[in-house]
């Protein structure tokens, strides 16, 4: 919980600073938009977290967002290039394809024993190529679907205040948190990430559970892709590029270890919010200063800095985490040393290697 | 022979302590130029520690080392290399992606004649070819190491040692992965090295080999020097007696008053992957069936077949009269066959998880309540029962296992199986690396479990443990069961002779 708390503090400080520098940051339209962004990345990140907690990695989710979006637009859009089928057909086909691809990747990883990084890298490139082939370098417009992302559950002063997308994220988060933290299946996932061999020797169906995490990851990427289609309404071949890296970064910021066995849904949510607040909030930051003639000027950070900031935040987070970890370990070793040094009838014997 | 009187190496009064244990105490060793010294002792007698000190990997707490009668201090592996000491590990340390020349000069590339940063490949190859000729390996030095056999790799290791002008070469179980022909070739090279005035320290468990190749034998036991034998006076019986001669301690519970029940597990002609022939044995209700043997004799692999981790190549098993061929650990667990593995940190425990979570792990499917909810209260209750039954020292069942001592970790492994109903409990090295107090407790639990009608299979490299706990002892040697000895016939000397292949 240490990492989650630290990131929550960082998030609150950042929001506070942005609010102080620019009151528009908490303006209703900005909040509405930022929460929609957070919701879509959050759905994606939670899917990635399932894979990361078992010690795997899924690089294909960004391309999966693009592919499900392109398929949905292609099937259901009435605009040029679309097939004009009903929306539900498009959604079912897109989701079915996402789940099947996730299953195929999971089986390649667990049954053919290939490395997750390589399988999902292949998936990332292949799916991107399929999207490109479908849109043929152009784009498919699907503005008829925009209402979904624009829907608000309630309004304040006649303005939208609570996006439907956030409700979907909350639903996904609750179900995922329940699965990960309160069920036997969740225990399997943490045990596999903590020590795959010991899980195997304890009779856990390691391969099936791992395969399922890739299906979940791909499925949630499909959901995120459908949401994103409604959000941008123009599907081209570059939709979703590098989203997988944002999702992984959100998981790591939120306390997942790429070694597996660590992480929680709440942390992933905080990590996602932090990512998006930096990405979308940085250009709202401004400082007012006065020159010698007393005229007011605005200082704004260069928009291009946002990736530098995100990168730095990730590095600082993991460095701090490691420092705390080393400190705790040293304390533990000292305690163990004191125990061994104390006169005892039970000397500690070193494991001979 | 005046040349061989030249004393190359002397180690005097070497003592090495690890936290809570004395690994070496006042050990002596001397080596003359052109001599092959065999270093013998049981697993854990201190051979490797002594050689690690000589190789510079460990620093002794007391004692002196002389090379060519000059006192030296070895601060690290590089120091030892500079003194002309080369250690050839049992697991060969070659980079399979490089060629022979690249491996021979790995880390020493500058000596190949080039002072610039670029690699003088042809110079290294020329020098490597000369070295290969010296060790009798008829291959161009541009051959990738991945194409070599284990024997050829051994030759490359020796060539590498020679390239560093080694005067002392330590070989740790050099023949363990060699064929008979390759081993013969190795002995020829050792004879050549000896002629060249190089001193060889030869570590091996194989009696015939040691008697054939060594000029002198130094025996260690429990970290202490027991004695030296010259090749002329050495016999297998003498060596075995020196290796094992120690009294049984009194920690073992009294195991006389028990009667073995009906057969629970029956194994017939089971061929374990990597083995040439099948093994057959049966284990009875209420019995502790011990497996003795050297490390690498195939005991762990056999246990993993019994537990369903690997499939056997041939043969059959029966459990309580019914056919038993587990496909995976889950099958074995469902049939009541449990394994506490040799390497508990690798296979037995999920270290970052809590005591309770580890105990519930193999049975976790039965902790699912309504709507798949994990029943944490039940998990906690079961874990607390096991903690008090096994007397696991922890302040709470939510403590992470990584923070427990080795003995308590092992008790968690046992607890996780005892929380279920074992029929056959396989314990692979149940007390390795844990303190005496916890050892005695684990022995008491084992005795009580056997009493309650569970069949226990125990693999152990600790001779006292094998003798103190087993009702019958199967001695394994080179992946075969040499013999199954009933308790009355099992003596240290007999087991040691059987497991080293001295007795057939």
Coil, strand, or helix at residue B170?
Answer: strand
Q: Does B350 touch chain A (CB under 8 A)?
A: yes
What residues form DSSP beta bridges with B24? B16
User: If you measure CA to CA, which chain A residue comes closest to B350?
Assistant: A195
Question: For the residues A156-164, what does the mean pLDDT come to?
Answer: 89
Give me the phi and psi of A275, to 5 degrees please: -55, -50
Edge-to-edge strands of the sheet including B21-32?
B70-72, B62-67, B7-18, B21-32, B224-230, B216-221, B36-40, B199-203, B168-172, B85-88
Are B12 and B53 in contact by the 8 Å Cβ rule? The answer is no
pLDDT at A169: 97
Give me the phi and psi of A153, to 5 degrees please: -70, -40
Strand (E) or helix (H) holding B459? strand B455-459
What 8-state DSSP symbol labels residue A242? T
Structure tokens at B320: 């309580």
Are A59 and A120 in contact by the 8 Å Cβ rule? The answer is yes
Closest to A279 (Cα-Cα) out of A310, A250, A251: A310
Helix A116-135 and helix A61-76, axial crossing angle in degrees, nearest 10: 30
Give me the phi and psi of B457, to 5 degrees please: -110, 125
- The reply to whether the predicted model has a pTM over 0.80 is no
d(CA A54, CA B412): 23
Q: Which residues of B486-497 are buried (b: 16+ CB within 10 A; e: fewer)?
A: eeeebebebbbb
Are A83 and A93 in contact by the 8 Å Cβ rule? The answer is no
Q: How far is A64 from chain B (nearest CA, A)?
A: 30
User: What distance, in Å, lies between the first and last C-alpha atoms of chain B?
Assistant: 38
Closest to B389 (Cα-Cα) out of B465, B351, B442, B340: B442
Q: Which residues of B213-251 are buried (b: 16+ CB within 10 A; e: fewer)?
A: bbbbbbbbbebebbebbeeeebebeebbbbbbeeeeeeb
Are A274 and A253 in contact by the 8 Å Cβ rule? The answer is yes
Q: How far is B372 from chain A (nearest CA, A)?
A: 5
Interface test with B, best of A191, A203, A263, A343 (most B CBs within 10 A): A203
Are A100 and A109 in contact by the 8 Å Cβ rule? The answer is no
d(CA A187, CA A18): 39
pLDDT digits (tens, 9 = 90+) for A91-132: 999 999 999 999 999 999 999 999 999 999 999 999 999 999
Q: Which residue has the tokens 């425990």?
A: B349
What residues form DSSP beta bridges with B25? B224
Closest to B77 (Cα-Cα) out of B173, B193, B174, B170: B170
What residues form DSSP beta bridges with B317? B267
pLDDT at B17: 82
What residues form DSSP beta bridges with B472? B289, B486
Structure tokens at B143: 């051959």
Coil, strand, or helix at residue B210?
Answer: helix
Contact between A346 and B435 using a beta-carbon 8 Å cutoff: yes
pLDDT at B117: 54
pLDDT digits (tens, 9 = 90+) for B374-395: 889 999 999 999 999 998 888 8
* More confident position, A331 or B66: B66
What 8-state DSSP symbol labels residue A60? -
pLDDT at B359: 95
Helix A164-182 and helix A28-53, axial crossing angle in degrees, nearest 10: 30
Q: Does A184 touch chain B (CB under 8 A)?
A: yes
Are A228 and A239 in contact by the 8 Å Cβ rule? The answer is yes
Strand (E) or helix (H) holding B153? helix B150-163
Measured between beta carbons, the chain A residues lying within 8 angstroms of B18 are 349-350
List CB contacts of A167: < 8 A, sequence separation 6 or more: A153
Query: Which segments of chain A does DSSP mark as H helices, in order?
Result: 2-21, 28-53, 61-76, 87-110, 116-135, 146-150, 164-182, 184-194, 196-201, 206-232, 243-253, 265-281, 306-341
Closest to B87 (Cα-Cα) out of B10, B164, B15: B164
User: If you measure CA to CA, which chain A residue comes closest to B373?
Assistant: A183
Contact between B368 and A184 using a beta-carbon 8 Å cutoff: yes
What residues form DSSP beta bridges with A159? A156
In the structure, what pLDDT confidence band is assigned to residue A332 with cuts at 50, 70 and 90?
low
pLDDT at B1: 41
Task: Calculate the alpha carbon distances from B21 to B25, B62, B433 in Å.
Answer: 10, 15, 10
In the structure, what pLDDT confidence band is assigned to residue A189 with cuts at 50, 70 and 90?
very high
Measured between beta carbons, the chain A residues lying within 8 angstroms of B307 are 201
d(CA B241, CA B492): 9
3-state secondary structure B30-91: EEECCCEEEEECCCCCCHHHHHHHHCCCCCCCEEEEEECCEEECCCCHHHHHHCCEEEECCC
What residues form DSSP beta bridges with B27? B14
Torsion angle in degrees (nearest 10) through CA of A203, A207, A210, A216: -110
Q: Which residues of B21-38 are buried (b: 16+ CB within 10 A; e: fewer)?
A: bbbbbebebbbbbbbbbb
Structure tokens at B488: 């009355």
Interface test with A, best of B47, B361, B376, B441 (most A CBs within 10 A): B361
Q: Does A347 touch chain B (CB under 8 A)?
A: yes
Q: Does A208 touch chain B (CB under 8 A)?
A: no
Answer yes or no: is pLDDT of A7 > 50. Answer: yes
Q: Does A352 touch chain B (CB under 8 A)?
A: yes
Q: Does A191 touch chain B (CB under 8 A)?
A: yes
Q: Does A188 touch chain B (CB under 8 A)?
A: yes
Question: Across the interface, which of B44, B350, B368 has its CB nearest the CB of A195?
Answer: B350
List CB contacts of B410: < 8 A, sequence separation 6 or more: B340, B344, B430, B431, B434, B438, B442
pLDDT digits (tens, 9 = 90+) for A268-323: 999 999 999 988 778 788 888 888 888 888 888 887 888 888 889 889 888 888 88
Apex B184 CA angle, B178 and B188, nearest 5: 125
Helix A184-194 and helix A164-182, axial crossing angle in degrees, nearest 10: 70
Closest to B38 (Cα-Cα) out of B182, B174, B179: B174
CB atoms within 10 A of CB A210: 24
Measured between beta carbons, the chain A residues lying within 8 angstroms of B346 are 195, 197-198
Closest to A43 (Cα-Cα) out of A206, A211, A192, A230: A230
Give me the phi and psi of B285, to 5 degrees please: -60, 135
Closest to A46 (Cα-Cα) out of A209, A174, A165: A174
Contact between A198 and B348 using a beta-carbon 8 Å cutoff: yes
Q: How far is B427 from chain A (nearest CA, A)?
A: 13
List CB contacts of B308: < 8 A, sequence separation 6 or more: B326, B327, B328, B329, B330, B331, B332, B337
B395 burial type by CB count under 10 A (0-12 exposed, 13-18 middle, 19+ buried): exposed
List CB contacts of A337: < 8 A, sequence separation 6 or more: B19
Contact between A194 and B352 using a beta-carbon 8 Å cutoff: yes
Question: Across the interface, which of A190, A197, A351 has its CB nearest the CB of B406?
Answer: A351
Measured between beta carbons, the chain B residues lying within 8 angstroms of A204 are 330, 361, 364
Q: Does B365 touch chain A (CB under 8 A)?
A: yes
Closest to A20 (Cα-Cα) out of A290, A275, A279, A287: A287
Q: Does B328 touch chain A (CB under 8 A)?
A: yes
Please identify every stretch of chain B with a pLDDT value under 50, giving residue numbers as ranges.
1-4, 112, 114, 247-248, 257
d(CA A246, CA A231): 18
């Amino acid at each position: 919980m240490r990492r989650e708390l630290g990131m929550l503090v960082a998030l609150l400080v950042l929001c506070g600073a942005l609010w102080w520098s620019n009151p528009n940051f908490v303006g209703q339209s900005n909040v509405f938009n930022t929460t929609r962004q957070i919701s879509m990345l959050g759905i994606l990140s939670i899917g990635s977290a399932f894979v990361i907690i078992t010690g795997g990695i899924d690089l294909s989710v960004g391309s999966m967002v693009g592919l499900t979006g392109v398929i949905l637009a292609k099937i259901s859009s009435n605009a040029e290039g679309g097939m004009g089928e009903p929306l539900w057909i498009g959604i079912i086909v897109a989701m079915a394809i996402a789940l099947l691809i996730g299953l195929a990747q999971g089986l390649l990883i667990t049954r053919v024993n290939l490395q997750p990084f390589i399988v999902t890298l292949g998936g990332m490139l292949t799916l991107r190529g399929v999207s490109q082939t479908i849109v043929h370098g152009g784009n498919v417009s699907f503005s008829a679907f925009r209402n979904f992302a624009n829907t608000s559950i309630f309004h304040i002063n006649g303005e939208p205040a609570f996006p439907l997308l956030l409700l979907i994220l909350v639903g996904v988060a609750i179900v995922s948190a329940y699965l990960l933290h309160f069920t036997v299946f969740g225990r399997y996932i943490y045990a596999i990430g903590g020590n795959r061999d010991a899980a195997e020797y304890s009779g856990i169906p390691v391969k099936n559970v791992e395969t399922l995490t890739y299906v979940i990851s791909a499925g949630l990427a499909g959901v995120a892709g459908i949401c994103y289609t409604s959000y941008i309404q123009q599907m081209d071949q570059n939709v979703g590029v590098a989203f997988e890296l944002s999702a992984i970064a959100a998981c790591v910021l939120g306390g997942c270890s790429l070694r597996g066995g660590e992480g929680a849904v709440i942390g992933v949510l905080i990590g996602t919010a932090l990512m998006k607040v930096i990405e979308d909030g940085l250009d709202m930051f401004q400082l007012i200063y006065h020159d010698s003639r007393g005229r007011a000027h605005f200082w704004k950070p260069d928009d291009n800095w946002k990736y530098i900031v995100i990168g730095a935040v990730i590095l600082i987070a993991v460095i701090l985490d490691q420092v705390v970890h080393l400190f705790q370990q040293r304390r533990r070793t000292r305690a163990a040393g004191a125990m061994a040094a104390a006169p005892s009838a039970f000397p500690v014997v070193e494991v001979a290697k | 022979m005046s040349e061989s009187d030249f004393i190359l190496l002397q180690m005097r009064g070497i003592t090495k302590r690890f936290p809570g244990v004395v690994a070496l105490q006042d050990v002596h060793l001397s080596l003359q130029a052109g001599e092959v010294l065999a270093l013998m002792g049981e697993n854990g007698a201190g051979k490797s520690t002594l050689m690690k000190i000589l190789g510079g990997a460990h620093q002794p707490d007391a004692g002196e080392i002389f090379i060519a009668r000059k006192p030296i201090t070895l601060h690290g592996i590089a120091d030892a290399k500079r003194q002309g000491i080369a250690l050839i590990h049992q697991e060969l340390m070659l980079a399979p992606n490089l060629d022979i020349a690249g491996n021979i000069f790995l880390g020493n590339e500058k000596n190949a004649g080039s002072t610039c940063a670029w690699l003088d490949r042809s110079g290294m190859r020329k020098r490597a070819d000369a070295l290969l000729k010296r060790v009798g390996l008829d291959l161009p030095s541009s051959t990738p190491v991945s194409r070599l056999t284990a024997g050829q790799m051994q030759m490359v290791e020796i060539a590498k040692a020679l390239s560093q002008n080694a005067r002392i070469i330590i070989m740790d179980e050099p023949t363990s992965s060699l064929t008979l022909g390759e081993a013969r070739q190795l002995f020829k090279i050792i004879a050549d090295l000896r002629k060249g005035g190089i001193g060889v320290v030869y570590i091996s468990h194989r009696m015939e080999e040691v008697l054939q190749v060594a000029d002198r034998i130094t025996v260690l036991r429990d970290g202490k020097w027991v004695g030296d034998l010259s090749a002329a006076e050495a016999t297998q019986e003498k060596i075995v007696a020196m290796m094992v001669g120690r009294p049984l301690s009194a920690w073992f519970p009294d195991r006389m008053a028990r009667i073995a029940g009906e057969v629970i597990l029956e194994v017939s002609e089971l061929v374990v992957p990597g083995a040439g022939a099948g093994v057959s044995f049966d284990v009875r209700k209420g019995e502790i069936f011990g497996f003795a043997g050297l490390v690498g004799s195939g005991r762990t692999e056999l246990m993993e077949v019994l537990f369903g981790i690997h499939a056997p190549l041939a043969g059959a098993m029966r459990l309580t009269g019914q056919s038993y061929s587990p496909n995976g650990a889950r099958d074995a667990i469902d049939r009541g066959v449990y394994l506490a593995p040799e390497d508990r940190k690798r296979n037995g425990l999920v270290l970052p998880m809590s005591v309770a979570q580890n105990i519930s792990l193999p049975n976790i499917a039965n902790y699912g309540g309504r709507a798949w909810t994990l029943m944490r209260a039940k998990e906690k209750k079961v874990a607390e029962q096991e903690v008090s039954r096994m007397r696991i020292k922890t302040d709470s069942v939510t403590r992470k296992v990584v923070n427990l001592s080795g003995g308590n970790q092992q008790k968690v492994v046992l607890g996780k199986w005892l929380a279920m109903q074992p029929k056959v409990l396989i314990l692979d090295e149940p007390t390795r690396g844990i303190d005496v107090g916890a050892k005695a407790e684990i022995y008491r639990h084992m005795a009580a479990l056997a009493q309650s009608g569970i069949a226990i299979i125990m693999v152990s490299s600790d001779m006292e443990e094998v003798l103190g706990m087993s009702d019958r002892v199967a001695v394994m040697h080179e992946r075969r069961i040499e013999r199954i000895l009933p308790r009355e016939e099992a003596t240290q000397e007999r087991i040691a002779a059987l497991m080293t292949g001295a007795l057939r």
